[in-house]
Structure 1
Amino acid sequence: MDKIDKKILSALLENARLPLKQIAKKANVSKEVASYRIKQLIKKRIIKEFITLINTEALGFSRYACFFQLNTTEEKEFLEYLKDHEFITYVGITVGKWNVVFDILAKSREHCNEIIKDILSFVEDNLESYIVIPAAYEQEVYPAKLIGLKKINTVRPKINKQCDDLDFKILSMLTQNARIEYATLAKKIHLSGNAIKQRIKALQGIIQGYTISINWRALNLEWYNVQIKIKKETALKEFLREHAKVLYFYHYLGHSWDMDIGVIAEDSLAFRSFLLELRKQSITIQDIYLIAEEIKGNYAPSGVFK
């Protein structure tokens, strides 16, 4: 991957719906070269998905993080169940205390309890232990660090808006492919191109942006998650924001750990080096696990649009 690829990836991380002409301009290449490079990045699985960032809170949903330890003999069926579930978003298989982590989007605690009961019924006696915790009250994500760029977390506006059935259809299709063309949307939803553009414009705030999912494995990186207790918060966040290996942090309240930190590293020795730096930040490490594979991306599931 060269500088041109990085410029293209950077542009798509900022806005996956950016017109090809503007992507080419940012990368200082022709439209034809930009188009070819994007196709190659997809072919090499460096770009996994074009994602629309949906403010699910504004649609009445809350997020719950789930950590499960299962009997691995039944893991394959369980992963398929989670992947197809209409209220489950990100799903990852891990190495460590937990072997499956995933997020639930639910309309209420009662709704979340119903989903958990269904999940427990599915796994039956194959579950060894699990934890479900409400969403982080604070989070920052730095995907550009995957390609060696440092960019601060973008705080996106949140609004409350009533959506009708056509809005939900548009949101659902954008979630499946953030670069879908207006003409394709218009044809499938039976509206004019201008009507589609106006509706998408009116949905800004619920639509918080467009980005891409980058395959860390295709870049020969490993992805670790570190769960910590915080003794002194003062300098910690700045350390995480500035560190080239920190991909995100999620800050929780009232649990056995205060924060999840996502870390990318070339190998276990590079990760160990990061841990030595982290330990200087007045924290206690509670747990560590390796993300072995991402089964389902972190995008709004189908149940959100019903």
Structure 2
Amino acid sequence: MDILDMKILSRLLNNCRKPDRQIGMELGISGGAVGSRINKMEKLGIIEKFCLKVEPPLLGLNMFYIVVNSQNQKEIIKNVKLAGMPFAIVPCVGGITVIGVIVKEDMQQKIELLQKLMEDVRVMSVFEADNTKITHNLTRTDLEILNELIQDPRKRIEQLSKDTELSTKTINRGLEKLQNNESIQFTLIYDPSKIEGFLCYAVVAMTQEDIPKMLKKFEDEFGEDYLMTPFLAKNQVVLFLYSESIFKMDEMTERVAKVEGTITTELFIPKKIDMPEKWLEKRLETLTKSQTLHLSQVN
């Protein structure tokens, strides 16, 4: 892996539908060279699969994240499934696991239940995502397109038109709408353990400052080192970064901590990333069959 590979990986993580030619123009290489590097990363197992990441609240579901410190991941997942459904599982260095949990209702009760189930392990934190920007404006056509994109988010417009029996004009319009929705991400799953020469990590910055203001500060300081667009939670900004060495990673974490407005920081180094898609397939099927388009009313 070299810096060009990392920049290509970064662009695909933020939008895997971005054409190879466009990525090449941004990086000063040909689209063919970009395609070759993507193929190389797939063969090496660095890119495991391209996928669609949808924030559960967009589809009328609640969600929260729990961070635990335990070596017994199977037991953790078993307990999570008693309270909700895992949609993101990220085991990290040091026995830490970050899990995104979906619940249909009574979120606070489910959080309390899960904390009781986790009495034998150290629960480091539980936090909710920032859902204030989510707009529930999906139509049945949007859901139909999403359903086709689950298996292959890079599927070409012509193929989407054929599979859905919708016009290419309708597909184009629908894709533009979906790509502009901040709750939907055309991304990929990568294997951090197979990236040689770079370390991928996340720094969670706790702040009491205005989030948009903090985002601007972080982007000005670390934008060139972003692996992915930052994730926002209540009073927290999660920065996804990459560095050439553990020393550079340590230096970057210290720099995040020194940004005015940052209260505390935590460093997470992922060993594996898993994003189960069964929940998404089932939810889209339920919504498509529903007689109402008001997602909050769909069981």
TM-score by length of 2: 0.65
Match of 1:221 among 198, 204, 225: 198
Q: Provide the C-alpha distance between the structure 2 equivalents of 1:231 and 1:209, rounded to a whole number of angstroms.
A: 27
**Residue matched to 2:51:** 51
1:11-64 per-residue CA deviation (whole Å, 9 max, x = no partner) reads 645643345665666665365x55444322211233333233546444323431
Q: 1:46·1:219 contact (CA, 8 Å) conserved in 2? A: no
Q: Provide the C-alpha distance between the structure 1 equivalents of 2:196 and 2:148, rounded to a whole number of angstroms.
A: 29
Identity value in percent:
19
**Residue matched to 2:147:** 172
Q: Provide the C-alpha distance between the structure 1 equivalents of 2:93 and 2:206, rounded to a whole number of angstroms.
A: 21
Match of 1:264 among 224, 239, 242: 242
Q: 1:201 to 1:281 in 2, by over 3 A?
A: closer
Q: 1:55·1:205 contact (CA, 8 Å) conserved in 2? A: no
**Residue matched to 1:101:** 98
Query: 2:251 matched to 1:273?
Result: yes
The RMSD of aligned alpha carbons is 4.6
Alignment of 1:8-87 (within 5 A): 9=9, 12=12, 15-19=15-19, 28-29=29-30, 31=32, 34-54=34-54, 56-70=56-70, 72=71, 74-76=72-74, 78-79=76-77, 87=85
Q: Structure 1: which amino acid aligns with 2:128?
A: P
Q: What is the SS of the residue equivalent to 2:50? A: strand
**Residue matched to 1:145:** none
**Residue matched to 2:156:** 181
Q: 1:279 to 1:45 in 2, by over 3 A?
A: same
**Residue matched to 2:137:** 161
Q: 1:134 to 1:99 in 2, by over 3 A?
A: same
1:86-113 per-residue CA deviation (whole Å, 9 max, x = no partner) reads 94322111234x62111124444x1574
Q: Provide the C-alpha distance between the structure 2 equivalents of 1:78 and 1:13, rounded to a whole number of angstroms.
A: 27
Q: 1:224·1:264 contact (CA, 8 Å) conserved in 2? A: yes
Q: What is the SS of the residue equivalent to 2:146? A: helix
1:94-150 per-residue CA deviation (whole Å, 9 max, x = no partner) reads 234x62111124444x15745874x679x6775443643211368xxxxxxxxxxxx
Which stretches in structure 2 are left out of the alignment for 5+ residues? Answer: 287-299
Q: 2:91·2:271 contact (CA, 8 Å) conserved in 1? A: yes
Q: What is the SS of the residue equivalent to 2:59? A: coil
Q: Provide the C-alpha distance between the structure 2 equivalents of 1:53 and 1:137, rounded to a whole number of angstroms.
A: 15
Q: 1:69·1:130 contact (CA, 8 Å) conserved in 2? A: yes
Q: 1:295 to 1:222 in 2, by over 3 A?
A: same
After alignment, is 179-188 or 190-199 more displaced?
190-199
How many residue pairs get aligned? The number is 275
Which stretches in structure 1 are left out of the alignment for 5+ residues? Answer: 139-156
